[in-house]
Structure 1
Amino acid sequence: MASDSLNEMVRLPLAGLTVLDFSQFLAGPSAALRLADLGARVIKIERPDGGDASRSLYLADLPFDQDSALFHAINRGKQSLTADLKNADDLMRVKALIAQADVLIHNFRPGIMDRLGLGWDDVRAINPRLIYAGVSGYGPDGPWRDRPGQDLLVQSLSGIALLSGDGNGPPVPAGLSITDMMAGAQLVQGILALLVRRGVSGDGGRVDVSLIETAIDLQFEHLAVYLNRGGAMPARSAVGNANLYLAAPYGIYATADGHVALAMAPIDRLGALIGCTEMADFPADRWFAERDAIKAILRDHLKQRTSAHWLAILEPAGIWAAPVLDWPALTADPAFAALDAVQQVRSPDGATLRLTRCPIRVDGQILKNERAAPRLGADSDFIHSELAGAA
């Protein structure tokens, strides 16, 4: 797999491993992407008639190298093999690949891989060392098993959408596909754990995650309180809601020219620093019970001056505060440049696309790969010739 000079400075930990990625959209492909970033060879197994559905899922009508920019963001650095899994010859070639692979990832609904002859028992017979990794929407059993496994629906079903937004407003889902991406991260953890176990025992294994279980795990802090207290759903703050169980001032507040975020801080000290005498009226044992009243006072006081004015007071005093940045402000900040968080990928005809990089550093090195996502079936002939040579 092609890599840039930064990656050549470090031996990537998964170099030499082969991953077969049968998944599409986000959760499964994001897991395979991270394995590719860490050095694995990832082969996407795609339908001949269109491939991964995210190839045509355009955000802001941004195509790149025949496919959506979104597809490249999730599938950069991989190879593509087209196969009709209902065709006996194609299935035979795929099984030959499975015999040589280290990891298989899929996100078909429960039962589909079994019907294709690629279920856990089938592939374990082909390759006992294989790590078999599956993502589903709602797990293998239960009344939700066949619901559509889509991020917004899972956020809504799991209670996440009712954590955000002010108490007098509607549910507010996260603006990112958080359950998809976190399910992919959980799957990577399981895969790596089974690879470690295989290094000891020689045996493969199976790991499964679901979006709904991931969504429940994401809420472990709040659910730990709720499950042990019981009762009704805790109330969202009516002013600047940011956490169900944290007292004032925790939240985001408008200023004269933007917004600032305030985390945990002693109300009396905060009031003294910003010159808000009213906040001295609230003893520490009332900072949660009176959080909306305190936040309303803060809201009205902070909007009188600019964000820079307040931050110049709060940050030197050790108060946990930060400006609320949009993407233009974030990417213009020297701190963003210092992270070297963006990489450039290149298509076969030389076109370039700017994408975020792998967030993991190995042996002190940032991991980048300039290879764009593969065109549909681009590597089929090469992979077939490899199989023929190995036969």
Structure 2
Amino acid sequence: MQDDTGLLAGLTVVDLSQFLSGPYCSLRLLDLGARVIKIERPDGGDLSRRLYLSDTEVGGDSTLFHAINRGKESLAIDLKNEDDLAFLRTLFAKADVVIQNFRPGVVERLGLDYEAVKAINPSIVYASISGYGEEGPWVMRPGQDLLAQARSGVMWLNGDEQQGPVPFGLAVADMLAGANTCQGILAALVRRGISGKGAHIQTSLLESLVDFQFEVLTTHLNDGGRAPKRSDFRSAHAYLSAPYGVYPASDGYLAIAMMPIGKLQDLLELVELQPYRDDSKAWFTKRDEIKQIIASRIATHTVDHWLSILEPADIWCAKVLQWSELLQSDGFRILDMLQTVTREDDVSIDTTRSPIRVNGKRPTLGRAAPRIGEHSADIRREFEA
């Protein structure tokens, strides 16, 4: 439900989207104080209710649905029903933001596209998320995260060289597109506050993944078009030299970031690194050989042993934590990033909180994701009045 003290308090967001990208965007707006009315089909609702990340189910829905839709209101709308469409247009007339991620052409057929909504509400901020934009040969391809990663080139930056393309283990395209859409919406709301004018914000999974790669793509565009070359040994970044990587210790893993090889040679007491000590070009051209030498040394002692040597010398390094270790660490606990959200039907689920603090405080919205159409009657009474 809406946070009356949030930065966006008083703003109403009508979210027609489903799955991840659009709902992630509206979740960020909700955490900043906006009211989010989620539009769902009466027969089944958002498809992500049945998109399971594990065999865990809470209140009949997936943990994914709960994580990304906490605190929202659900309005059941049959988009094939003229009366429901008429009410939806009534809702648009009083809304501040509309979000949709239908495949291109669908909202036009429904009469719910930006131009149609703008005719009802000229100051509306309307956001569209697609898979690959609104034009071109990929328009009608499924806008799914793994497929967008496959077309973006990003898979050639992960894993070791001999592994071939390796996808991210997260729905990174969806999350980035949602974050980019949120940024565009916030900018449009600022302009509307100045000029009274609305706007149409558009992005796609592919555009967001291209932007995600702006550093390495800029390098590619200006170094003769050479393809990225990942390390064959514990690669952590296709474009960074040794020692950048993750190394097995005797009891875990140690991440080591950028540093002069000579300094690392002294601290690790590795005479084998002498040929590369002052040859910065070799740190890249002989990256695998250098990393294998370092790995053989790191493997001889514990992570804490190496941290006790490297951290006092201001070497950028860290123990690689599993989730259980992260959640128990003081560094994580002090951030207060977890919350328990509940619902009147005894649904209770532990999840994360907003990553943004405002005036030193992190927004807290304690209500779980809604049941399908849970708020339909109240919303209809409110907006039909």
SS at match of 1:365: coil
Counterpart selection for 1:99 from 86, 93, 97: 93
1:66·1:375 contact (CA, 8 Å) conserved in 2? no
Separation in 2 of the partners of 1:255 and 1:171?
A: 27
Query: Which residue does the alignment assign to 2:25?
Result: 31
Identity of aligned residues (%): 53
2:2·2:35 contact (CA, 8 Å) conserved in 1? no
Give the superposition deviation at 1:284. 2.5
Matched, 1:314 2:310: yes
2:2·2:33 contact (CA, 8 Å) conserved in 1? no
1:31-70 deviation line (CA, Å, top 9, x unaligned)? 0011111111100111111010011122212111232221
1:217-246 deviation line (CA, Å, top 9, x unaligned)? 000000001011233312111112111111
SS at match of 1:20: strand
Query: Which residue does the alignment assign to 1:262?
Result: 256
Matched, 1:129 2:123: yes
Query: Which residue does the alignment assign to 2:225?
Result: 231
Matched, 1:344 2:350: no
Matched, 1:185 2:179: yes
Separation in 2 of the partners of 1:254 and 1:341?
A: 29
Separation in 1 of the partners of 2:190 and 2:2?
A: 26
Matched, 1:382 2:378: yes
Query: Which residue does the alignment assign to 1:367?
Result: 363
Number of aligned residue pairs: give it: 383
- The letter for the 2-side match of 1:64 is V
Give the superposition deviation at 1:128. 0.3
Counterpart selection for 2:113 from 107, 112, 119: 119
Query: Which residue does the alignment assign to 1:333?
Result: 329
- The letter for the 2-side match of 1:141 is E
SS at match of 1:280: helix
SS at match of 1:50: coil
1:65·1:347 contact (CA, 8 Å) conserved in 2? no
Task: Please identify, of 62-71 and 178-187, the stretch whose mean Cα deviation from structure 2 is larger.
Answer: 62-71
Query: Which residue does the alignment assign to 2:199?
Result: 205
Segments of structure 2 that go 5 or more residues without pairing to the other structure are none
- The letter for the 1-side match of 2:340 is Q
- The letter for the 2-side match of 1:353 is I
Separation in 1 of the partners of 2:296 and 2:182?
A: 46
- The letter for the 2-side match of 1:237 is S
What TM-score does the superposition give when structure 1 sets the normalisation length?
Answer: 0.96
Separation in 1 of the partners of 2:2 and 2:203?
A: 30
Separation in 1 of the partners of 2:281 and 2:210?
A: 31
Give the superposition deviation at 1:2. 5.9
Runs of 4+ in 1 over 6 A off after TM superposition: none
- The letter for the 2-side match of 1:177 is A
1:234-268 deviation line (CA, Å, top 9, x unaligned)? 21111121111111101111111111111001101
1:132-156 deviation line (CA, Å, top 9, x unaligned)? 0011000001111111111111111
Counterpart selection for 2:190 from 173, 192, 196: 196
Counterpart selection for 1:293 from 289, 308, 311: 289
- The letter for the 1-side match of 2:253 is H
Q: Considering only aligned residues, what root-mean-square deviation do their CA atoms show, in Å?
A: 1.1
What TM-score does the superposition give when structure 2 sets the normalisation length?
Answer: 0.97
- The letter for the 2-side match of 1:302 is I
SS at match of 2:164: coil
